[in-house]
Chain A
């Protein structure tokens, strides 16, 4: 089946640093999503991307839909302790298609 490769698997950073994570796939996706899961909670949607090349921001978060439609990245600027959690990418092959999730990037922020 389709797979998403998300990297890095984990990151340990200092408060104030910028963070970058990405997802790649062998398949072309029509939609890319980024979710955040805080400890003991379910994932919450952060950003949705619908067009190749699209760059979207949500506060300190910026995500881009790769031109090839096979990748996406998420950047977090000036990290703060509450950014801690697991960030998941997810791709959707077509409208109404199932979501395929990456393995997650676990982010730890040291104050």
Chain B
């Protein structure tokens, strides 16, 4: 069966520090991968998606970047965190691009202080 792992679960980082969140999917090949951000009281906002290795599409201009170095690995990064980067970050995958059924990881709660 397919599983998605996301880590760390929580992270407290100072302003200006770098960020690296990792997501891996097991049990499937060539998944479509997504990074979402969930701000308090807001819905999920799509940040990046990827249809294959090295292919990244950015949805909103921001201080973050994404990379897909391997088929089932998706990384969210920042060189210098801002206070406004705080939030709950979710990785997800689907069989087809923007499939109605997406499978989400457990999320990372990022607090920038």
Over the window 1-23 of chain B, the binary record of Cβ atoms lying under 8 Å from chain A Cβ atoms (1 yes, 0 no) is 00000100100000000000000
Task: Check A33 for interface membership: any CB of B closer than 8 A.
Answer: yes
Whether A96 lies near B104 (C-beta < 8 A) is no
Task: Check A57 for interface membership: any CB of B closer than 8 A.
Answer: no
Given contacts A42-B92, A92-B98, A98-B46, contact A9 B41 (CB under 8 A): yes
Q: How large is the interface on B (under 10, 10 to 19, 20 to 34, 35 or more residues)?
A: 20 to 34
Determine how close the nearest CB of chain A comes to the CB of B97; give it in whole angstroms: 6
Task: Check B105 for interface membership: any CB of A closer than 8 A.
Answer: yes
Instruction: Count A-side interface residues using an 8 Å CB cutoff.
Output: 24
Chain A residues, CB < 8 A from B6: 42
Chain B residues, CB < 8 A from A99: 44, 46, 98, 100, 102
Whether B100 lies near A31 (C-beta < 8 A) is yes
Chain B residues, CB < 8 A from A97: 98
Describe B's contact surface by its main secondary structure: loop
Whether A48 lies near B105 (C-beta < 8 A) is no
Determine how close the nearest CB of chain B comes to the CB of A2; give it in whole angstroms: 11
Closest A residue to B6 using CB positions: A42
Task: Check A64 for interface membership: any CB of B closer than 8 A.
Answer: no
Task: Check B90 for interface membership: any CB of A closer than 8 A.
Answer: yes
Given contacts A42-B90, A88-B43, contact A96 B97 (CB under 8 A): yes
Chain B residues, CB < 8 A from A33: 100
A42 to B3, CA, bound (A): 12
Task: Check B96 for interface membership: any CB of A closer than 8 A.
Answer: yes
Closest B residue to A86 using CB positions: B38
Q: Shortest 4 CB-CB distances between A and B: which pairs? A: A42-B104, A101-B43, A101-B44, A103-B43
List A residues at the B interface (Cβ < 8 Å): 4, 6, 9, 31, 33, 40-45, 48, 88, 90, 92, 96-104
